[in-house]
Structure 1
Amino acid sequence: MKLRPLVITLALLAPAVAAAPATAADGSYSATIRRTEYGIPHVTAKDYGGLGFGYGYAFAQDNLCTLASWVVTLRGERSRYFGPDAESDDPVKPVANLASDVYYRSVAGSGVVRRLLTRPAPIGPSDELRRLVDGYVAGYNRYLADTGVANLPDPRCRGKAWVGPITATDMWNNLLDLSRMVSSSSFKEAITGIAEPEDEAGAPEPRPAAGSNAWALGRQATRGGGGMVLADPHFPWQGIRRFYQVQLTIPGVLDVSGGSLYGTPVVQIGHNATVAWAHTVSHAQRFTVYRLKLADDRSYLVDGRAEPMGEQEVEVTLPDGTVSGHRLRTSRYGPVLAVGQTGEAAYALADANAANLRAADEWLAMARAGSLDELREAQRTYQGMPFVHTLATDASGTAYFADTSVVPHVTDAQAKRCAASSPMPGLDAYVLDGSTSACLWGRDGDAVVPGVFGPGNQPKLVRADYVANSNNTYWMANPAKPLTGYPKAYGETGTDLEPRPRVSLDMIGRRLSGTDGLGAPGFTLQTLQATVHGKRNLTFELMRDDLRTMCRSRPELHEACRVLEKWDGRATLDGEGAVLWREFFTRLGRPTKPGDPVFSPWRVPFDPARPLTTPSGLKSDDPGVRQALADAVRYFRSNRIPLTLTPGQAQSYSSIPIPGCTEGEGCFDRVRMRGPLGANGRYPEVDTGSSFMMAVELTGSGPRTRTVLTYSLSANPDSPHHTDQTALFSRGGWVTERFTAAEIAADPHLQTVAVHGGR
């Protein structure tokens, strides 16, 4: 029986909200939400305000609780509702609620968002983005008013006192916090002086790390001669940094489909009819730390003159209604850190993204781009990418890579000349002398804001074959044309690629030569999908022969060796040996006893002249290597865990088995669990890994796209779309995207809702 599309019209009376939204000329918003397989929303409106309204309404239907909790965070109210010592809901770097509240109240008190909203674009938001944000807020609030807090479908926030209407200010604060994600917002404890909560063992809990893979394939790499993009961001599987899949359309103006981070009204990774793009996290500098030479406990010296520190009083309300007061100090560089202070020195954080609201406008302009040239112009105009590389292509088949992200303007010579002692061990950032203005950030004439490198200094590469990145530095975007000569603030060159970037480049190389078993050379949409889901474990491939040599001389390890001998080296659900290899590999290099140095297990060390083939081999005659395998086997046996334990048995999300291997092993689509392998033969739940995967082919007749949202569309555990795509991802499936109106209308499961609302 053919199913008829369901069409519903909702005429909505708008609620009173804290910030009055901009509206259409007749004082109302209007949008159409069409949902296809897996609940994916396609939002259409006649203007930006209506588009935002429809998007905010659709998102609230699926994920209101997640955003409502995050708004409590952005307002600095977590201690009031959840207690000061509980852990915050930041999925990247959780801290105690009190530290979170003090930090976010200090951001609000600084007035940075208020000042940016008074500026014209590109420094402040464009009129289009303002209308989009206002509409998004109105749509979210309309859904909340229409449903009622007591009747919300998600049990996580149903009837909770902390759920209420949101404001445009909340959304601007969220966009700012996204820009600060790997800089100021990851220094909450250091800024506030409030320590991070510890686990039961007394040590900070391991945190998920953002990563990603991305390829842009040009006409020389594709069988069809057009461009193709693979997007595989590795972002948290919980909380506000999840992706939401959506299509946003204003006929004749905008038509973009892809992944949009929660609480943002724009698509970050996606495509339109002729252009596609993806991002990977860049490890360029985002901030510097300045060492302040103190004149006294309230001032510091710059060029021999004393400058007073600023002071900010912050108050946080506790559950019993009492107020906790905190005093923070600031400097010309940024907040003064609560760590590293002595009677002679203090340290301040200078964040290049401290006032960056430009990213959302850049993504919006990229979504409107009709060609790769127009996408690049959008990036030159806004210069707002906070911490990511960009890889893109268009229907002409030109592949593009660039690190257009915001990077402090610190030249190599200045970094050397101004180097100062660090306030924290292991701080991966420039620490500069703050006592002289000669160490202030420089300025490029083509930069839209002072203190950062402009487009002329940014690493970039345009090719007809391909560009790729897997969180390695920019220099190996294409091995045929290594990039060098850029400021070291963008990253080092000539360094070890690490296994995941190496397997990524090897996968491309084998496909282009036709030696991967998938047929004739060159990429099609089908071979791109198959390549991505190969689940190769590169470290096993590189060490397998030497492992066999070691096994022949160690009779007590023969059972484990037989398991690894039979394993095909792929981290599939049924890969018997994949988990044993992981437990062995992660023990490699560890000291055999306290005080021993860490050693490299590689037989052939890294050679900068051979970055694609070194390091390689296994030091099979090293006692530490033999001990690592023996220790892994002992753990399995002592806990009665079978050596043949598979990823499908050991790792899961919402009870659904998840394939893949961990960072460092050399799997392309890596996963990360919340902790180590337990005595029950299971890891804690997956919390990071491939998130919104997109394979898109741009053709003369339009885009052909396959996607999978690994953790599914809704965080609501009672939603039918809570794990439906997770089950699809588990078995290696993809969703055939519906992009055109005809494709959407042809979906037998189509449901259509028209939403309207006023002020």
Structure 2
Amino acid sequence: MSESRTLTKRHRYSVRGRLGAAAAALCLASVTAAFLPTASSAATGPAGETLSEGGRTAQISRTAYGIPHILARDFDGLGYGYGYAFAQDNVCELADQVVTLRGERSRYFGPDGERGEGVNLASDTYYKGQRRAGTVQQLLDRRAPLGPTAELRRMVQGYAAGYNRYLRETGVGRLPDARCAGKPWVRPVTALDLWSVVYDVSGVTGAVPLAPDIGDAKPPTADGDATARAAAFSAPGGQGPAADDFGSNGWALGRDATRTGNAMVLANPHLPWVGGALRFYQVQLTIPGTLDVSGAGLYGTPLVLIGHNKDLAWTHTASDARHTSTYALKLVAGDPTSYVVDGRTERMKRRTVPITVRDADGRVKTVERTLYTSGFGPVLSSGWTTRTAYAVRDANADNLRSMNTWLAMGKAHSLDQLRTAQDTYQGIPWTYTLAADTSGATYFTDSSAVPHLTDAQLERCTRPGGEDGPDALDGSTTACAWGSDPDALVPGLYGPSHQPKLTRTDYVANSNNGPQYTNPEAPLTGLPGVYDIDPRLAPRPQLGLDMIARRADGTDGLGAPGFTGRTLRSSAFGNRVLSAETGRDDVVALCRAHPLLETTDGKETDVRQACAALARWDTRADTDSRGAALWTTFYDHILRGGPSDTWHRVPYDPAQPLTTPRGINGDDARVRHALADAVQDLAARDLPVDTALGTVQKWAGIPLPGCNGNKGCFNVVDAGPEAGTGTPTEGAFGSSFLMAVELTPDGPRAHTLLTYGQSANPTSPHYTDQTRLFSRKQWVTERFTAAEIASDPDLKVTMLRD
């Protein structure tokens, strides 16, 4: 029998009014203790571990902005409460994810998707193929550390049960989100569905973005049948697709960088604001005496992935290493499904996949599709000719270990314990880790899954791409295959002994640059080249390091040197634009000397008003900054011509990596055309040249600060004026979950902000409540202890019993 009870607002106020916050917390705890049992009935799982079969209980305490704090006595109950709370806010998103992961998009939405003809069909082929191959189930059948721990198995089972309970109680037809209410594709989820979410998260910089390409692969009948999608592969050295859609800033500040001597961590991941796969959800997960961690996890994952406990805090940024390798297969003449390795002929493996497809008239039929796999991984549609095919090998192709790693990190109470967690499970898929603990020390590492390729292999094995395909490694010889480290848990990868690591008492920082300049005072050098593809610093990491340096000497206008909680938060929202700080005056000099400039297509344009607007601009990307919109438009036009140092006044100098290239060369034709083009662009949109940034950059009508990182913005935001309104231009990207935490002897003091709110439902009060804070540079004061939670005036407590 299921039961739920919610403490009403009237009851909460009466308790606090008589007893005060601390006593209210004790009162609430006593109610919880009486409600939660001490044990659950159990059964034996596939790997011999104990699994819960019933009796799950949980307490969900929601504080301001709908942030849930889940309290349970065991992992079954913790997952149960988390799944229920998440479903309350985002039932549609997880339901939609599951449709994708089950390979059923064509069944419900037809074979075509938003990205083009046949996209759903190709995606379904990839994911249905995984299901039929039992890819995730085989990983689940492994024992830890390669497979999930017993605690995580119970938690995921509980999460599925909690989500399904909400769905059952509410009813699909009565769901509060019209996007999925009454839809046939909204169904109960299984633990396998959730583990498939975890597996997909591990592959988002590897095979996952290539899923349609893999699903569409078919042998050619002639060279002309090759599908040239080489642009999808931007990494050098045959190292697979780059993680261009991900970014982050992360700082761990040690006792020598703060005025209090307490360590601090700033988390600022940059991810898409739409779609369920990479959105964050904020939560606190507590099992007394076992786990008490607060932060955020990606939709559908059962844990906190970026966060803190009372002694330790950590964040992640996307690693500059590539986590996949693209191999060029030398095909056998007359047989495009066979290839040669070391002089021997190998045949591609084929798997036939039945896909259910709904046509435009609503009729359903089944079509059969075929997936092709080589010894180097799945074969791609891109570039498959009668002579060559391309395959992709993903270092995370067997990674469910990620959740083991993050759970162990959440339990850790020192940097040593965090290192042990990462070295034991080796499951961080594609990110750097930056962390600090109450000792005042900081730590950086790239412990992600990185292919074991030596510099000599990359030099010897890389073959250049062309019109039909990308740069790739030579797949005709095993000499170009991945090697391995003795301490690697999974063959083919670098082990902890080769991973970049740095411990400091001042700081470690990263903004998606390579590991070399994690701290310029102690450069990380001598690493395998696969870890540091391009040591040059882009504008955003240059700015981040400059922000830290100016805070260290007090020249940033925020007061005495050294970080405090306040100055850390102010730095994050300073909205500096490095390209403007180093180049705005050059452009103003240009337009004052040449008030009439030609556009790219030869139209003479008066730029005098634009020149005056840029001269008045404070070079910040605040919502009310007038000049920022003009500058970002101008800079976009420069960058469209491709990367080049010709338009920098000072070119890149490897002896000055933190400050070059910089400035703008007004004599460069690209620069002159770009300014005229920007003026024309704004005029075509009926916008004055000094329009406020918040006029052209919004979420659900709310002005947004920040700009794209390629312009040197730390606070990354890329959105149009209609973003978040359900229009075709609703996409947005950038700062998502922010956390600024100080680890004091009395416990953590944290401020957070989830820029797009806890719910993706446009009718939810938590769809834009935190976006309005973001627009005003405001933060949410985190409530971590029982007393802090109990004292929240918006507190709403729900008790669940299964």
TM-score scaled by length of structure 2: 0.87
- Correspondence list, 1:398-477, <5 A: 398-422=441-465, 427=470, 431-477=472-518
Distance in 1 separating the partners of 2:685 and 2:60: 52
SS of corresponding position for 2:94:
helix
Decide whether aligned partners of structure 1 residues 423 and 329 sit closer, same or farther in structure 2, where only a CA change above 3 A counts: farther
Distance in 2 separating the partners of 1:650 and 1:611: 33
1:155 Cα deviation from its structure 2 partner: 1.1
In the alignment, is the contact (CA less than 8 A) between 1:674 and 1:683 conserved in 2? no
Which deviates further from its counterpart, 28-37 or 185-194? 185-194
Distance in 2 separating the partners of 1:436 and 1:459: 29
Which deviates further from its counterpart, 627-636 or 741-750? 627-636
User: Are 1:316 and 2:355 counterparts?
Assistant: yes
Q: Which amino acid aligns with 2:431?
A: V
1:421 Cα deviation from its structure 2 partner: 4.4
Which deviates further from its counterpart, 302-311 or 180-189? 302-311
Which deviates further from its counterpart, 609-618 or 40-49? 609-618
Which deviates further from its counterpart, 659-668 or 567-576? 659-668
The residue that corresponds to 1:40 in the other structure is 67
Distance in 1 separating the partners of 2:117 and 2:267: 27
1:52 Cα deviation from its structure 2 partner: 0.4
Distance in 2 separating the partners of 1:481 and 1:123: 34
1:208 Cα deviation from its structure 2 partner: 7.9
- Correspondence list, 1:186-335, <5 A: 186-193=209-216, 209-240=245-276, 241-295=278-332, 296-319=335-358, 320-335=363-378
The residue that corresponds to 1:133 in the other structure is 156
Q: Which amino acid aligns with 1:5?
A: R
1:683 Cα deviation from its structure 2 partner: 11
In the alignment, is the contact (CA less than 8 A) between 2:78 and 2:158 conserved in 1? yes
Q: Which amino acid aligns with 2:12?
A: P
1:637 Cα deviation from its structure 2 partner: 3.1
The residue that corresponds to 1:198 in the other structure is none
Distance in 2 separating the partners of 1:367 and 1:597: 41
1:181 Cα deviation from its structure 2 partner: 0.6
Which deviates further from its counterpart, 23-32 or 457-466? 23-32
User: Are 1:117 and 2:117 counterparts?
Assistant: no
Q: What runs of 5+ residues in structure 2 fail to find an aligned partner?
A: 1-8, 14-27, 219-230, 233-242, 597-606
1:350 Cα deviation from its structure 2 partner: 1.1
Decide whether aligned partners of structure 1 residues 636 and 422 sit closer, same or farther in structure 2, where only a CA change above 3 A counts: closer
In the alignment, is the contact (CA less than 8 A) between 1:33 and 1:41 conserved in 2? yes
- Correspondence list, 1:365-380, <5 A: 365-380=408-423
The residue that corresponds to 2:800 in the other structure is 755
- Correspondence list, 1:540-555, <5 A: 540-555=580-595
The residue that corresponds to 1:5 in the other structure is 12
SS of corresponding position for 1:616:
coil
Distance in 2 separating the partners of 1:461 and 1:118: 36
1:70 Cα deviation from its structure 2 partner: 0.7
The residue that corresponds to 1:177 in the other structure is 200
Distance in 2 separating the partners of 1:686 and 1:97: 19
* 1:308-356 residue CA offsets vs partner (Å, 9 max, x unmatched): 2211001110112211211111122211222322333322211111111
Q: In structure 2, which of residues 698, 703, 724 is the aligned counterpart of residue 657 of structure 1?
A: 703
Decide whether aligned partners of structure 1 residues 43 and 377 sit closer, same or farther in structure 2, where only a CA change above 3 A counts: same
Distance in 2 separating the partners of 1:265 and 1:95: 32
Decide whether aligned partners of structure 1 residues 120 and 95 sit closer, same or farther in structure 2, where only a CA change above 3 A counts: farther
SS of corresponding position for 1:586:
helix
User: Are 1:49 and 2:76 counterparts?
Assistant: yes
RMSD: 2.7
Q: Which amino acid aligns with 1:242?
A: R
Decide whether aligned partners of structure 1 residues 684 and 646 sit closer, same or farther in structure 2, where only a CA change above 3 A counts: farther
SS of corresponding position for 1:587:
helix
Distance in 2 separating the partners of 1:438 and 1:599: 37
User: Are 1:397 and 2:431 counterparts?
Assistant: no
In the alignment, is the contact (CA less than 8 A) between 2:320 and 2:533 conserved in 1? no
Q: Which amino acid aligns with 1:465?
A: D
Q: In structure 2, which of residues 385, 389, 394 is the aligned counterpart of residue 351 of structure 1?
A: 394
Distance in 1 separating the partners of 2:331 and 2:262: 60
Distance in 2 separating the partners of 1:217 and 1:590: 36
- Correspondence list, 1:518-557, <5 A: 518-556=558-596, 557=607
In the alignment, is the contact (CA less than 8 A) between 1:23 and 1:29 conserved in 2? no
The residue that corresponds to 2:621 in the other structure is 571
Distance in 2 separating the partners of 1:235 and 1:526: 25
- Correspondence list, 1:603-752, <5 A: 603-673=649-719, 684-685=729-730, 687-752=732-797
Q: Which amino acid aligns with 1:125?
A: P
Decide whether aligned partners of structure 1 residues 514 and 186 sit closer, same or farther in structure 2, where only a CA change above 3 A counts: same
SS of corresponding position for 2:637:
coil
1:649 Cα deviation from its structure 2 partner: 1.0
* 1:391-439 residue CA offsets vs partner (Å, 9 max, x unmatched): 0000111111111110111101112222234377784xx7222222222
SS of corresponding position for 2:663:
strand
1:590 Cα deviation from its structure 2 partner: 4.9
Which deviates further from its counterpart, 481-490 or 730-739? 481-490
1:161 Cα deviation from its structure 2 partner: 0.7
1:686 Cα deviation from its structure 2 partner: 5.2
Decide whether aligned partners of structure 1 residues 589 and 271 sit closer, same or farther in structure 2, where only a CA change above 3 A counts: closer
Decide whether aligned partners of structure 1 residues 101 and 640 sit closer, same or farther in structure 2, where only a CA change above 3 A counts: same
Decide whether aligned partners of structure 1 residues 77 and 20 sit closer, same or farther in structure 2, where only a CA change above 3 A counts: farther
Distance in 2 separating the partners of 1:167 and 1:440: 37
SS of corresponding position for 1:270:
strand
Q: Which amino acid aligns with 2:669?
A: P
Q: Which amino acid aligns with 1:62?
A: D
1:630 Cα deviation from its structure 2 partner: 1.7
Which deviates further from its counterpart, 636-645 or 533-542? 636-645
Q: In structure 1, which of residues 342, 347, 350 is the aligned counterpart of residue 385 of structure 2?
A: 342
Decide whether aligned partners of structure 1 residues 590 and 598 sit closer, same or farther in structure 2, where only a CA change above 3 A counts: farther
Q: What runs of 5+ residues in structure 1 fail to find an aligned partner?
A: 196-202
In the alignment, is the contact (CA less than 8 A) between 2:579 and 2:711 conserved in 1? yes
Decide whether aligned partners of structure 1 residues 517 and 297 sit closer, same or farther in structure 2, where only a CA change above 3 A counts: closer
Which deviates further from its counterpart, 337-346 or 131-140? 337-346
Distance in 2 separating the partners of 1:65 and 1:634: 41
Q: In structure 2, which of residues 544, 551, 554 is the aligned counterpart of residue 511 of structure 1?
A: 551
In the alignment, is the contact (CA less than 8 A) between 1:494 and 1:608 conserved in 2? no
Which deviates further from its counterpart, 436-445 or 53-62? 436-445
In the alignment, is the contact (CA less than 8 A) between 1:590 and 1:598 conserved in 2? no
In the alignment, is the contact (CA less than 8 A) between 1:36 and 1:744 conserved in 2? yes
Q: Which amino acid aligns with 1:623?
A: A
Distance in 2 separating the partners of 1:191 and 1:310: 13
Distance in 1 separating the partners of 2:575 and 2:375: 49
Instruction: Count residues in correspondence.
Output: 727
Distance in 1 separating the partners of 2:640 and 2:760: 38
Distance in 2 separating the partners of 1:447 and 1:597: 37
* 1:678-731 residue CA offsets vs partner (Å, 9 max, x unmatched): xxxx99445111000000000100000000000000111221211111111111
Decide whether aligned partners of structure 1 residues 676 and 504 sit closer, same or farther in structure 2, where only a CA change above 3 A counts: farther
Which deviates further from its counterpart, 517-526 or 541-550? 541-550
Which deviates further from its counterpart, 550-559 or 596-605? 596-605
Q: Which amino acid aligns with 1:317?
A: T
The residue that corresponds to 2:105 in the other structure is 78
Distance in 2 separating the partners of 1:383 and 1:95: 37
In the alignment, is the contact (CA less than 8 A) between 2:52 and 2:154 conserved in 1? no
